[in-house]
A and B are shown apart, each in its own frame.
Chain A
Amino acid sequence: MLSCKDVTHKSSDYIDNKLPLISRWQMRLHIFMCVRCAEYIRQMRATVASIGLLKDRNEPAQAVIDETVNNLLEISKKRS
């Protein structure tokens, strides 16, 4: 039987599906019975999902694209 401390230490591996099958079932059983561990896992999942929302989905500024592409074209021409 896993302790609550074990559950918190394995929480990332559990979320990432990196635990062996038996450990995964042990985690599920513990979380089913332990309100505080269930809440901890919920919070870790929310943390991971929140980090994902921080991703910058904006394209770089046009000036940055132009400058980078011009540099690359120059290097490419020199190489050929």
Chain B
Amino acid sequence: MPTTDRQTPDESELIQRLIAGDETSFRTVVRQYYPSMHAFARAIIGESLAEEVIQESWVSVIRALPDFEKRSSLKTWILRIVSNTAKNRLRKESRLVSFEDLGSAADDSNDDWFDTRGHWQASQAMNAWHHALPEDIIGSDQLRSQIQHTLSALPPQQQAAVVLRDMEGLGFEEICKILDVSESNVRVLLHRGRCRLRAVIDAYNRT
């Protein structure tokens, strides 16, 4: 379920302890947020640079923490910093255009599936999947590997939106803040990414 973007009282205390340099609190946040930061950084910049981006982001987080205005949850704020750090890194690598380009690569238009009235073509079968349950889909090593490969090959913005929404379970408001794009853009990105991933699962089920 998507999370809410509010600070809990515990989180306010945690932030104060982080500002005070409390080691136990550092360990808590690193344990808690590292997997999300890694998945998200990998989506934007790729596996090889994800670790560097995370370490750079932590430095920014600790330096900026006293100025954190608490208008979002700590997690959303941290992921926003990861997003900016990764984008800056992309800029240095001259690859930013690939992050900003919503229309690149996959799109969701499958116009050839439909007739002129927008109804399914007779030739377009829509058979039930034999791997239909999520546990069965991910339980198949070959299919899981194909999904992971396709996810990692999505354009960075699509991948980031899919990771934040479908893996991390964040709400649209949080995703917009993190990626700095409008909700309608997030919806387009998500749909395109999901269509690509559905197509992979569908192809596997047809073999």
Which of A4, A47, A64 has most chain B Cβ within 10 Å? A47
A12 near B114 with CB under 8 A, answer no
Name the contact of B134 in the complex, choosing from A52, A59, A64, A76 (C-beta under 8 A): A52
Q: Known contacts being A3-B117, A18-B172, is A53 close to B135, with CB within 8 Å?
A: yes
The distance in angstroms between the C-alpha atoms of A56 and B38, with both chains bound, is 9
Binding site for A on B (CB under 8 A): 21, 23, 26-27, 30-31, 34-35, 38-39, 55, 58-59, 62-63, 108, 110-111, 113-114, 117-120, 124, 126-129, 132-135, 137-138, 144, 147-148, 151, 162, 165-169, 172, 187, 190-191, 194, 197-198, 201-202
Q: Are A80 and B21 in contact (CB under 8 A)?
A: yes
| Beta-carbon contact of B114 and A5 below 8 Å | yes
Minimum C-beta distance from A67 to chain B (A): 8
Contact at B137–A43, with CB atoms within 8 Å?
no
Given the interface contacts A11-B191, A39-B126, A69-B26, does A49 sit within 8 Å of B63 by beta carbon?
no
The size bracket of the interface on A is: 35 or more
B134 & A49 in contact (Cβ 8 Å cutoff): yes
From 12 to 39 in chain A, residues with beta carbon under 8 angstroms from any chain B beta carbon are 12-13, 16, 18, 35-37, 39
Q: What residues of chain B lie closer than 8 Å to A55, measured between beta carbons?
A: 35, 39, 167-168
Secondary structure dominating the interface of B: helix
A53→B169 CA distance, assembly (Å): 11
Nearest chain A CB to B33 CB, angstrom units: 10
A34 to B124 CA separation, bound complex (whole angstroms): 14
- Which A residues fall within an 8 A CB radius of B? 3-6, 8-9, 11-13, 16, 18, 35-37, 39-40, 42-44, 46-60, 64-65, 68-69, 71-73, 75-77, 79-80
- Chain A residue numbers with a CB within 8 Å of B31 are 59-60, 65
Q: A69 CA to B58 CA in the complex, in Å? A: 9
Q: How far is the CA of A68 from the CA of B124 in the complex (A)?
A: 52
- The answer to whether A79 and B63 touch (CB under 8 A), given A46-B133, A46-B137, A54-B148, is yes
